[in-house]
Structure 1
Amino acid sequence: MQSFRTELENPIVEKDIIDLEKKIRLFREGKIHDEKFRSLRLARGVYGQRQPGVQMVRIKLPFGKVTFKQLLRIADVSDEYASGNLHLTTRQDIQIHYVSLDRTPQLWEELERDDITLREACGNTVRNVTSSPDSGINPNEVFDVSPYAHAFFSYFLRNPICQEMGRKIKFSFSSDERDTAYSYIHDLGFIPKINEQGERGFKVMMAGGLGAQPFLASPIFDFLHEDQIIPYAESLLRVFDRYGERTNRNKARLKYLVQKLGLDEVLRLVEEERIANKSKSYKIDRNTVPEPNLPEATTYPVLDEVINSIGYKHWRATNAVAQKQEGFFGVYIKVSKGDIKTDLARKLVDAIKPFVADEIRITQNQGLLLKYVREDALPSLYAALNPLGFAIPGFDSIADVTTCPGT
């Protein structure tokens, strides 16, 4: 394997990628133990497949947000390094398969050119921070949780306190009380609230999870001020890292620590840790997730044949939702088994560009949400999506099935 050098401007990312290349080389030379190398590659989003000699690579997309340019970059990378398929995940990531381990540093560099990371997409780390896909456009939300999800992603990425935990940790942010980001099955889940003083904060749920032994999360705060959510999460991570199981992997999640010590004792330990925290509060920048570029206003054709069709009427009733921004709609796309071939991904971007904002959200049921569609553009958007198989009605219905591709 030839030595690898990047041309990236970000020295931290560049160091990460060069370090991965060096570790792969040492692993090939037998100078790194299998288990140690496994931990390292997982924290770089590289996951072994059952098929010998190839890897699954998980691309970390905070709260499922991806631009047109980023989606096209991922498609190009999948064609060059993987199988030409994009798999949308229930944690709002994208996975690509059949990647050579030796080529993962180059793959990572290609993605970083458009600000896309693999870092901590797998492994015993803070996994992708999810949110309700409709955050920012939901008419019922008291405020947009996207900047808070982004703050969690940024704060804990490469943070020394969560690089070698006993198991993974998952955070979620729901946009309203309907809890569409499923806080009740997360290690920490946040639901936005405004208190009587008009301050922002969150209802907080802790220690939920699925798996062979599912647990419902417990409510631990009815209102935690927005400046306290990151210090609290940091304190919890420190407690989990210190007291969590490390011998039996099957009992190493936060829910089992709560089961072992009791909720009150875990909360007491977290409160002790909060006293020791260097940062007693952390002010979150609400402007870190800018509004996307909107489609240009234009006169759309009147498509009477489309408007009067049963297919369009059904699709509009189940897949289009009014935004809180007057005159705009969000449009959901069902993606069969969460899989999109790269050539179809490119056709999708070309088809939707005239009608939607430059921001797509991956949904927890492995679909897509398009934003800022003008009402009079809905028939034209439907006509553009239909030939691609992306205008199937019934989003998030009983017929909208989620699947795991396996590795």
Structure 2
Amino acid sequence: MAAVDDPKTLGRTRLSFANEAEIDEFAATLDKFEKGELTADQWRGYRLVRGNYGQRQDVVQMIRVKIPQGVLDAPQLQALADVADTWSRGFGHITTRQNVQFHFLQPHDVELSMRRLAEAGLTTREACGSAVRNITGCPYAGVAADEVFDVTPYAETLTRYLLRHPLSSSLPRKFKIAFEGCASEDHSLTPINDLGFRARLRGRERGFRLTVGGGTSTVATSGTELYEFLPAGEIFEVAEAVLRVFHRLGDFKHKQRNRMKFLIRELGWDGWRAEFERELQAFREEGGAPFAFPPDQPPVETAPDWPRPLPPSSTECAARATAAQVRGPGLVPEAPPRFAPAVRYDLHWASTNVRPQRQPGFSTVTVTLPLGDLTGAQLR
């Protein structure tokens, strides 16, 4: 899949988030570090922005793969399974921000993993470090019966706008963004993000209630409302202005208090809002950022035109799930026990985990992942 660096969105299965030249640069930079041409701190700062963490164990690495809005297609699941089985421990870990992590990779296997992921359009860029992290979306986007509108195209195009943006990897601290489209429940927990977009309609105009400065951990904070209604076509400009404020005034020295919520506390809401308005005006005077599509007419990703294959039976599913080959070191998931399929169990599971979606004849299915782990066999 060829890399696409502009924010236009035509559907994630058609456009890549990856960049092969970036992986070439990663390999060359690792070589420089191993030759002693870079310090450990220089290498650490570089690899973090490329989604590559060190571990407490010597030598081995963890990589974090961005799954924008939590959406994957079949070839991408195959790529994740290949990384799990070939270079990691036979399984991946699903995070609360819709990423997939693989542990205990050898340093030179990181490059190979990145290349396999790139073939399927996936990237580790800015998944770690002081960067704009993976932009999350409601897991029921596009299928929920009560959604205001499908937020996926808006979250995806903001993902593409900010991915590799000059500010996105040069911030004082990590920066988190979430989108939610459902009216009855905020599945994405937008108030605990640095930017939280909640879908709204004003007549027929699409937009978002926008909160800023949320966060958990130290001094848990709910975001403050910046806009009661932000027209959808302005999300690039507003997100950029917020990042400019954070980059210019944020605390680069003290890791314990350098999230956006601390900057807002330091300046006071009125002071922070004034700085935001100043940056927004300056950005617009520079020409701003035209939105990627008519805001009220997002691209529609149509259903595939091939016939749906027959689903595997319960027995086939059980055989696949228990075929996993996981390995240490560290804690590894136990293979699920083989079970004897019974109609009563299927009916009970369907009553709690299957619900009809907006599209007639289709259903959403909720699956529990113990500890958030998925084996290569389960991914396939």
Per-residue deviation, 1:279:
3.9
Residues 18 and 218 from structure 1, CA distance in 2 versus in 1: closer, same or farther, beyond 3 angstroms? same
Determine the structure 2 residue equivalent to 1:102: 108
Q: 1:193 aligns with which of 191, 200, 205?
A: 200
2 CA distance for matches of 1:297 and 1:105? 35
In the alignment, structure 1 residue 224 sits paired with structure 2 residue 235? no
> Unpaired segments of 5 or more residues in structure 2?
6-18, 315-339
Superposition TM-score, scaled by structure 1 size: 0.78
Checking the alignment, whether the CA contact within 8 Å between 2:54 and 2:61 is kept in structure 1 is yes
Q: Per-residue deviation at 1:309?
A: 4.1
Contact 2:60 2:107 in 1 (8 A): yes
CA distance in 2 between counterparts of 1:247 and 1:165 reads: 11
Residue 387 of structure 1 is matched in structure 2 by none
Equivalent of 1:283 in 286, 291, 305? 291
Give the TM-score normalised by the residue count of structure 2: 0.83
Q: Distance in 2 between matches of 1:159 and 1:297?
A: 39
State percent identity of aligned pairs.
33
For 1:182, the equivalent position in structure 2 comes to 189
- Tell me: CA distance 1:287–1:69, structure 2 relative to 1, closer, same or farther (3 Å): farther
The code of the aligned residue for 1:111 comes to L
Determine the structure 2 residue equivalent to 1:25. 31
CA RMSD of aligned residues (A): 2.5
Distance 1:35 1:299, change over 3 A: closer
Which segment is superposed worse, 219-228 or 28-37? Answer: 28-37
The 1:343/1:102 distance shift into structure 2, 3 A limit, reads same
Does residue 142 (structure 1) correspond to residue 148 (structure 2)? The answer is yes
Secondary structure of the corresponding residue to residue 143 of structure 2 = coil
Q: State which drifts further: 175-184 or 128-137.
A: 175-184
Q: The residue matched to 2:44 in structure 1 has which SS? A: helix
- From 8, 14, 17, give the equivalent of 2:20: 14
Aligned pair partner of 1:41 in 36, 47, 53:
47
Question: Hey, what does 1:321 align to over in structure 2?
Answer: 355
Q: Is the 8 A contact 2:3 2:121 kept in 1?
A: no
Answering whether residue 135 of structure 2 is matched by residue 124 of structure 1, we say no
Greater mean deviation of Cα atoms: 317-326 or 10-19? 10-19
CA distance in 1, matches of 2:111, 2:311: 45
CA distance in 2, matches of 1:300, 1:24: 44
Query: Is the contact made by 2:63 and 2:103 (CA closer than 8 Å) also made in structure 1?
Result: yes
Q: How many residues align?
A: 336
Look up the match of 1:369: none
What amino acid maps onto 2:229 in structure 1?
F
For 2:241, what is the secondary structure of its paired residue?
helix
Cα displacement (A) at 1:296: 3.1
| Residues 4-55 of structure 1 deviation map (CA, whole Å, 9 limit, x = unaligned) | xxxx865982321111111111111222121221111011110111111101
Cα pair 1:226 1:284 within 8 Å, conserved: no
Structure 1 residue 296 corresponds to structure 2 residue 307: yes
1:259 — aligned with what? 265
Deviation at 1:280, TM superposition (A): 3.5
Identify the residue that residue 53 of structure 1 maps to in structure 2.
59
Distance 2:29 2:216 in 1: 33
